[in-house]
Amino acid sequence: MPILEALGPSPHRSLPPVPASGRSAAARRLGVLPMPSLEWNESVARETAHLYERIKAVVPAVEWPFFAPYVKAINELKRERNAVILAHNYQTPEIYNCVADVVGDSLQLAREATKADADVIVQCGVHFMAETAKILNPDKVVLIPDVKAGCSLAEAITADDVRLLRARFPGMPVITYVNTSAEVKAESDICCTSSNAVEVVESLGAERVIFLPDEYLAKYVASQTDVKIIAWKGHCEVHERFTGDELRGYRESDPGLMIIAHPECPPDVLAEADFTGSTAKMIDWVRAQKPKRVVMVTECSMAENVQAELPEVEFVKPCNLCPHMKRITLPKILDSLVYLKEEVTVDPVVAANARRAVERMVHLKC
């Protein structure tokens, strides 16, 4: 079923708010901790050796003496703060494998955020993910190690844009991808992720829906359902860089290569793929199929994280990095736990409306 219409982004962008300098409210309430020693020595090497085992296929031994003192300090501070670290699949291997408590795609992280039995949540991902964690956990301290970790999709649409769309298409349900600000979620009927977008669209029983803000995900969903879709011209700056020509080139030079792609990619890329799915579905596919050689058409840290788990699979890596995800580093995570920064806050009225849309998605059985 084709897209009915794809409307353009507003020139106004909703960049993540930069907090006022100084201590966060959480730091004033809970206090700052002393900065732990970051010395590399035999004891640190011994205590972290089991963690290095997990990533030795993708992180050279020469780099471990830099990472290990941070890994040890972060894991100790997590206990002291009663904190949990949620890390997206696009985080680097030393974060994903050595300090995260929960890893996954946006849907998995949103679901786990509702179950978090901790006083503090550190979101190793981008700002909209930390906002989602805060929306679902209004009484917890939610931190993001770098508040400038934004997202080109979240910045493609504003709450005003959604209100204008509602006025133009009265009565039509609005589904927003979780890669949006809290204000945009608050204007929506329900959220979705790339894991459950088709099921969410079909769950509403409507003939036509407004699907925001990823045009390519909307096109992918439209190819999988009879529901008619009004789309928005937002794009992920990482996935839109892949091209069908590039993938045909890989295929020609290696006919046995399997290609699996994320639905934020343009349609000519998905047309070349043997499998299309969210990051979680791509990981499950590689675990189940164990291909000899595979290219994961998505942010390139994910291939490293899966390779650490499945060293027998050869990953061809066209390396498109997300500059926002890469703002999160071990030193910044440590600072987050020591100084309780950057604290993420959401206006209570906005949060209540956004929570309704997120929880409606979380409670769907898909």
Beta carbon of residue 172, minimum distance to ligand SF4 (angstroms, whole number) = 25
Beta carbon of residue 238, minimum distance to ligand SF4 (angstroms, whole number) = 4
Enumerate residues 6+ apart whose C-beta is below 8 A from 222.
Answer: 1, 2, 3, 228, 229, 231
Contacts from 11-14 at CB under 8 Å and sequence distance 24+?
A: 12/158, 12/160, 13/155, 13/156, 13/158, 14/154, 14/155, 14/157, 14/158, 14/159, 14/181, 14/183, 14/184
Beta-bridge partner residues of 79: none
Q: Does 325 bind ligand SF4 (CB under 6 A)?
A: yes
Interactions with ligand SF4, residue window 133-152 (CB under 6 A): 151-152
**Cα–Cα distances in angstroms (integers) from residue 293 to residues 145, 259, 264, in the given order:** 35, 9, 22
Question: Which is nearer to ligand SF4, 14 or 48 (by Cβ)?
Answer: 14
Stretch that binds ligand SF4, among 26-34, 110-118, 320-328, 347-355 (CB under 6 A): 320-328
Question: Which is nearer to ligand SF4, 155 or 161 (by Cβ)?
Answer: 155
* Options 44, 136, 269, 322; binder of ligand SF4; rule CB under 6 A: 322
Contact mark string toward ligand SF4, 51..70, x via CB under 6 A? --------------------
* Options 133, 142, 238, 261; binder of ligand SF4; rule CB under 6 A: 238
Question: Which is nearer to ligand SF4, 24 or 301 (by Cβ)?
Answer: 301
DSSP classification of residue 261? E
Question: Which is nearer to ligand SF4, 143 or 325 (by Cβ)?
Answer: 325
Beta carbon of residue 149, minimum distance to ligand SF4 (angstroms, whole number) = 8
Beta carbon of residue 179, minimum distance to ligand SF4 (angstroms, whole number) = 5
Q: How many CB atoms lie within 10 A of CB 261?
A: 25
340 φψ region: left (φ > 0), alpha (ψ -120 to 50), beta (else): left
Query: Taking a C-beta distance cutoff of 8 angstroms, is the pair 159, 183 a contact?
Result: yes
Question: What is the largest distance, in Å, between two alpha-carbon atoms of the chain?
Answer: 66
Question: Which is nearer to ligand SF4, 70 or 90 (by Cβ)?
Answer: 90
Residues in the chain: 366
Beta carbon of residue 230, minimum distance to ligand SF4 (angstroms, whole number) = 21
- Would you call 357 exposed, middle or buried from its count of C-beta atoms within 10 A (0-12, 13-18, 19+)? buried
Q: Does 153 bind ligand SF4 (CB under 6 A)?
A: yes
* Options 26, 157, 231, 236; binder of ligand SF4; rule CB under 6 A: 236
Say how far apart CA 71 and CA 65 lie, in whole Å.
10
Question: Which is nearer to ligand SF4, 51 or 147 (by Cβ)?
Answer: 147
The string of DSSP letters for 267-294 reads: HHHHTT-SEE--HHHHHHHHHHH--SEE
Alpha-helical regions (H) of 82-194? 93-98, 106-115, 127-136, 159-168, 182-186
Interactions with ligand SF4, residue window 298-317 (CB under 6 A): 299
Question: Which is nearer to ligand SF4, 69 or 215 (by Cβ)?
Answer: 215
* Options 324, 332, 341, 355; binder of ligand SF4; rule CB under 6 A: 324
Interactions with ligand SF4, residue window 274-303 (CB under 6 A): 299
Interactions with ligand SF4, residue window 80-119 (CB under 6 A): none
Say how far apart CA 234 and CA 177 lie, in whole Å.
11
Beta carbon of residue 127, minimum distance to ligand SF4 (angstroms, whole number) = 9
Q: Give all strands of the β-sheet with 258-261 in edge-to-edge order.
A: 275-276, 258-261, 293-297, 314-316
Enumerate residues 6+ apart whose C-beta is below 8 A from 55.
Answer: 93, 94, 97, 98, 308
Query: Taking a C-beta distance cutoff of 8 angstroms, is the pair 326, 124 a contact?
Result: no
Q: Does 156 bind ligand SF4 (CB under 6 A)?
A: no
* Options 132, 179, 188, 301; binder of ligand SF4; rule CB under 6 A: 179
Q: Does 237 bind ligand SF4 (CB under 6 A)?
A: yes
Query: Taking a C-beta distance cutoff of 8 angstroms, is the pair 70, 330 a contact?
Result: yes
Q: Does 174 bind ligand SF4 (CB under 6 A)?
A: no
Q: With contacts defined by CB under 6 A, how many residues of the chain interact with ligand SF4?
A: 12
Q: Does 192 bind ligand SF4 (CB under 6 A)?
A: no
Name the residues that contact ligand SF4, by CB under 6 A.
Answer: 126, 151-153, 179, 236-238, 299, 322, 324-325
